[in-house]
Amino acid sequence: MIVDCAIYRDGHRTEGPEDLSDALAEARAGDAFLWIGLHEPSEKEFDHVTREFALHPLAVEDALNAHQRPKLEVYDDSLFVVLKPVEYEPKSDSVSTGEVMLFLGDSFVVTVRHGVGSPLGIVRRRLEKEPELLGKGPTAVLYAVADAVVDHYLEVATELQTDLEELETEVFSPDGGGSRHTASRIYTFKRQILEFRRATGPLTVPLTRLASVGTSSGGAVPYVNEKARPFFRDVSDHLARVNESVEGLDRLVSDILSAHLAQMSVRQNDDMRKISAWAAMAAIPTMIAGIYGMNFDHMPELHWVWAYPAVIALMGSLEVLLYRLFKRRGWL
């Protein structure tokens, strides 16, 4: 469905004709641009937009199906950019991703939103308060959306860092590290990092290309103003910080998992030593009782009056000796 549609002339919003064809013609005639925002459109709803703006069928298919990696594609009549906003859910301490697709062409911008974490409404309102920036045309919309998405990445990375510190404290606490749920929490957190990385990592190439518009490294990108290169370079720098943070989080959570497994191994070894020590202590009276329970007629001390107290005293002495020995070695 179409969420919002307006013509922007000299950075100011003006309501245009309801017919998309007429609105686009008016925008092109008046040195303005048309911005259409859609939310999870169906194929039938998007078909009209496709015809009016001559969007490439491959890009249209990606926009309808979603589940795309961040990328930048150049077609004959439009530029297609995919971004993946990330949302952090404090109640479940989890990361969820959405998708934002942008079509930039001659005097028009079409934005398509899927899922959660979309900054489009906020971006539009913010741009409408900055007519000087909005007056730069479709490039301003692309920059503002990318900047909002990447800036929110930084916020999510901070939240994940806080969660990781809490998890680290739990793992290295005297009692928490042995919880049966600790390994599951670490693994779940690692999956959240992986989901975050899928959104941030592939975006590096498109932003690098946008930041290098007109240079030999990036090549020309149509429908993007070359003067916007410093702005996209700033967004690219922020993304580099995010990727470094994600890499650090991933390494730390892997180290925490290794430390937790090592702790569990040490605890199991301690338990086995304790079990072995108690088993050794139980073996002595069992052995003595077994010998004197064989019912032979001719056995030493069998008919001695003090034999029973002597055997009990011997077993007790040996038990105390073994206990002190195992205690001194830290087995008990």
Among the listed residues 264, 249, 224, 212, the one whose alpha carbon sits nearest the alpha carbon of residue 109:
224
What is the predicted pLDDT for the residue at 216? 46
Close Cβ partners of 61 (under 8 Å, ≥ 6 residues apart): none
Give the pLDDT mean for 96-103. 92
pLDDT digits (tens, 9 = 90+) for 69-91: 999 999 988 999 999 999 888 77
Give the pLDDT mean for 121-132. 90
pLDDT digits (tens, 9 = 90+) for 152-205: 999 999 999 998 888 888 887 766 555 667 778 888 888 899 999 999 999 999
What is the predicted pLDDT for the residue at 234? 94
Residue 300 to residues 117, 120, 279, 297: CA-CA distances in angstroms?
A: 86, 96, 27, 10
The owner of tokens 């998405």 is 149
pTM: predicted TM-score of the whole model, two decimal places: 0.78
* In contact, 136 and 8? CB cutoff 8 Å: no
CA 309 to CA 307: how far, in whole Å? Answer: 6
CA 308 to CA 313: how far, in whole Å? Answer: 9
CA 143 to CA 158: how far, in whole Å? Answer: 23
Q: Check the CA dihedral 310-314-315-317 and report its sign.
A: positive
Grade residue 332 by pLDDT with cuts at 50, 70 and 90.
low
- Residues 39-51 as b/e (b if ≥16 CB within 10 A, e otherwise) read bbbeeeebeebbe
Q: Does the pLDDT value for residue 27 go beyond 60? A: yes
- φ, ψ of residue 34 to 5 degrees: the values are -105, 130
CA 328 to CA 30: how far, in whole Å? Answer: 91
Pick the range with the lowest mean pLDDT from 133-137, 141-145, 277-281.
Answer: 277-281
Average pLDDT, the chain: 84
Give the pLDDT mean for 316-329. 79
* In contact, 206 and 71? CB cutoff 8 Å: yes
Among the listed residues 104, 114, 109, 98, the one whose alpha carbon sits nearest the alpha carbon of residue 41:
114
Q: Does the pLDDT value for residue 219 go beyond 70? A: no
What is the predicted pLDDT for the residue at 180? 64
Give the pLDDT mean for 317-328. 80
Pick the range with the lowest mean pLDDT from 35-44, 141-150, 172-181, 272-281.
Answer: 172-181
Q: Does the pLDDT value for residue 301 go beyond 50? A: yes
Q: What is the DSSP letter of 202?
A: G
Close Cβ partners of 81 (under 8 Å, ≥ 6 residues apart): 71, 72, 73, 101, 102, 104, 142, 146, 206
- How is residue 10 written in tokens? 């000299």
Locate all alpha helices (DSSP H) within 97-228, ordered by sequence. 120-128, 131-134, 138-171, 182-200, 204-211
CA 34 to CA 30: how far, in whole Å? Answer: 11
DSSP output for 1-48: -EEEEEEEETTEEE---SSHHHHHHHHHHTT-EEEEEEES--HHHHHH
Straight-line distance from the first to the last Cα atom of the chain, in angstroms, rounded to the nearest whole number:
70
pLDDT digits (tens, 9 = 90+) for 46-65: 898 999 899 999 999 999 98
Q: Does the pLDDT value for residue 239 go beyond 60? A: yes
Give the pLDDT mean for 248-254. 90
What is the predicted pLDDT for the residue at 321? 83
* In contact, 222 and 81? CB cutoff 8 Å: no
